[in-house]
Amino acid sequence: MFSSLFAALCQRFRTQPHWVAIGYMLISTTAFSAMSACVRLVSPELHIGVIVVMRNLLTIALLLPWLMREGTAAIATTRLPAHAARGIIGGVGLGTWTYALTLMPLTQATALSFTAPLFSTLFAILFLRERSDTARWLALLAGFGGVLITLHPSMSGFNWASLIVIAATCSWAVTGMFVKSLSATEPPLRMVFYMNLFMLMVSLPFSVGHWSMPSPHAWGVLIGMGICSVIMHFSMARAYSLAPVGTLMPFDFTRLITTAILAYLLFGETSDAQAWLGAAIIIASAVFMARRDGKAQAAIAE
C-alpha cells in the first residue's frame, strides 16, 4: 500500500515539476531564516566583518568537494566581469544586511527585505526602460506604502536601522538583474562560487583589526551558517529552474513566518500588528507584480 502511494506521489512530481519547485523554495526560505538567526546568535561574540568573512569562507569550503569533482570546468567562465560586479554589489548588500540584523528585530528586518522585488521593478523601469502601466505603478506605490507602515514613521517608533535594510535590498535588486543575465549561461555551482569569492574579497578589509578566534559555540554557529548558505542558494536555483517567478514568489514570503518563529523561540522577539500589516501589503504588491509579469511573458512566448 505504502509503496504504491509513494510511486503515485513520485509520478505526480515528475508530471508536475512546479510542486517540486515549491518544495525547493520552502527549503531555501527556511535556510534563509536559519542563517539570519545564526547571525544574531554569533554577533555578541564576533565583529560583523569577521562574521561576513567567515560566512563566505566556509561557504566556499563547503563547495570544494563539488568543485574538485567537476574540475576546472566548474569555474571556467567568459563572464568574469559580470560575476565580479554581482559579487561586489552583493558583498555590500550582505554586509549591510548582517549589520542590520544585529540592530533590529529579525522579523521586521525580514519584512523590509521583501522590498527587493519592488526596487527591482523600479530600477527596471528607470534604468532599463521597461514599459510600465498604471496598474504596475499603483502596485509599486502600495508596496512602498506598506514599507512606511512597517517602518513606524513617527520619530518615537522609527528605527534608523531600517534604512540599512533598505540599502541592502537595493543592492539585492541590482544583483538580481545580474542573476537573470548570468543564469542564461552559468550553472548554479559556478554562480555561487564566484559570488562568495568576490563577496569574500569585499568583506576582508572590514575584518582587519577585529579578528578574534571563535569559541567552539561560535564555530558551530558559523558552520551552520555556511551550510544554510549553500542550501539556500542551490535550492533557490533549483526552484527557479523548474517553475516561473510568478509561481514561486508567494512561497518566498514564508520566510517571514519561519523567521518570526525562530525569533520568538531563540530571542523572545515579537512583532506588533502594524508591522504585520505593512508586511502583508508589501507581499501582496510583490506577488501581484510577479504574477502579472509572468502572464505577460507567457503571452509574449505564445
The residues spanned by each domain of the chain are 23-301
Cα distances (angstroms) measured from residue 31 to each of 7, 17, 231: 28, 21, 7
Euclidean distance between CA atoms 169 and 118, whole angstroms:
9
259-275 tens-digit pLDDT: 999 999 999 988 777 77
Euclidean distance between CA atoms 147 and 152, whole angstroms:
9
Amino acid making up residue 2 = F
Cα distances (angstroms) measured from residue 149 to each of 55, 78, 282, 286: 32, 45, 10, 16
**Would you state the pLDDT for residue 18?**
72
Most confident segment among 15-24, 176-185, 202-211, 231-240: 202-211
Which residue in the block uniquely carries the three cell numbers 523561540? 265
**Would you state the pLDDT for residue 8?**
47
**Would you state the pLDDT for residue 246?**
64
What would the grid cell of residue 300 be?
509574449
Assess contact for 113 and 178: CB atoms under 8 A.
no
Q: What is the CB neighbour count within 10 angstroms for residue 51?
A: 29
**Would you state the pLDDT for residue 66?**
87
When pLDDT is cut at 50, 70 and 90, the band that residue 245 belongs to is low
Read off the pTM: 0.80
